[in-house]
Chains A and B, each alone.
Chain A
Amino acid sequence: DAKTTQPNSMESNEEEPVHLPCNHSTISGTDYIHWYRQLPSQGPEYVIHGLTSNVNNRMASLAIAEDRKSSTLILHRATLRDAAVYYCILRDGNNQGGKLIFGQGTELSVKP
């Protein structure tokens, strides 16, 4: 599985947008870009995923660069409950099953 690079930590103010970057320069054509987050004392939680086009759901938006070598997770209005470690993960579309390669992730702190 191709690897991703994320900043170790980021800070945001409550009710402001947050842009979490991820670099994946070795991404292959069949790799999906997945984002998970892990709140304190909980297991990881699915946030969003995409292949080529930008994606929106109730939790966040995913902006994918045209060359797919980077992506950005966008939280439109950060809340204190969004404080978590955010993981950007590539999933091979030809690979069945639950193997996710987690990196260190980005620890997001949200200030009131």
Chain B
Amino acid sequence: DAGVTQSPTHLIKTRGQQVTLRCSPKSGHDTVSWYQQALGQGPQFIFQYYEEEERQRGNFPDRFSGHQFPNYSSELNVNALLLGDSALYLCASSRILDRGNEKLFFGSGTQLSVL
């Protein structure tokens, strides 16, 4: 059983460009969450998708958007990249019905560098 897979693993972009990151959840999971982790910091919640809709959002600007597909996979899009967007972007999957009792499974992340 494959866990959470993310692509690409590394990406280099320049300021002002747009980027799309992809995530496939663990089999049987229906919820995908995205996190941003700056160097030396804990991950910060960006947003969560369930039933192809954004259900919760953290304190991130509208430049960050996402999408969830019928097969539960997800994309994270970032427009007008800034130097400060350089970070490790993590995807996590879970099952919505597990509520606070749930376990999140994380991918290994996409390392984004903005030059």
A interface residues, Cβ below 8 angstroms from B: 30-32, 36, 41-46, 49, 85, 87, 91-105
Q: Are A97 and B96 in contact (CB under 8 A)?
A: yes
- Residues in chain A near residue B56, CB distance under 8 A: 97, 99
- Residues in chain B near residue A103, CB distance under 8 A: 42
Interface range for B: 20 to 34
Interface segment, one of B62-70, B76-84, B106-114: B106-114
B interface residues, Cβ below 8 angstroms from A: 4, 31-33, 35, 41-45, 48, 50, 55-56, 58, 90, 92-94, 96-97, 99-109
- Residues in chain B near residue A92, CB distance under 8 A: 100
- On whether A46 and B31 interact (CB within 8 A), knowing A30-B100, A92-B100, A104-B42, the answer reads no
Q: Are A102 and B104 in contact (CB under 8 A)?
A: no
Q: Which of B48, B97, B100, B108 is within 8 Å of A94, CB to CB?
A: B100
Q: Are B100 and A98 in contact (CB under 8 A)?
A: no
Q: Tell me the complex Cα distance, A93–B101, Å.
A: 7
Q: Tell me the complex Cα distance, A13–B4, Å.
A: 32
Interface centre among A41, A45, A97, A101 (most CB of B within 10 A): A97
Closest to B32 in A: A98
Q: Tell me the complex Cα distance, A89–B85, Å.
A: 25
Can you list 9 pairs linking A and B with CB atoms under 8 Å apart? A43-B90, A44-B104, A94-B100, A95-B100, A96-B99, A97-B56, A98-B45, A98-B93, A101-B45
Q: Tell me the complex Cα distance, A31–B32, Å.
A: 21
A58 → B minimal CB distance (Å): 14
Q: Are A32 and B58 in contact (CB under 8 A)?
A: no
A90 → B minimal CB distance (Å): 9
A97 → B minimal CB distance (Å): 5
- Residues in chain B near residue A85, CB distance under 8 A: 42
- On whether A98 and B101 interact (CB within 8 A), knowing A44-B43, A104-B41, A104-B42, the answer reads no
Closest to B3 in A: A43
- Residues in chain A near residue B90, CB distance under 8 A: 43-44
Q: Tell me the complex Cα distance, A105–B31, Å.
A: 25
A34 → B minimal CB distance (Å): 8
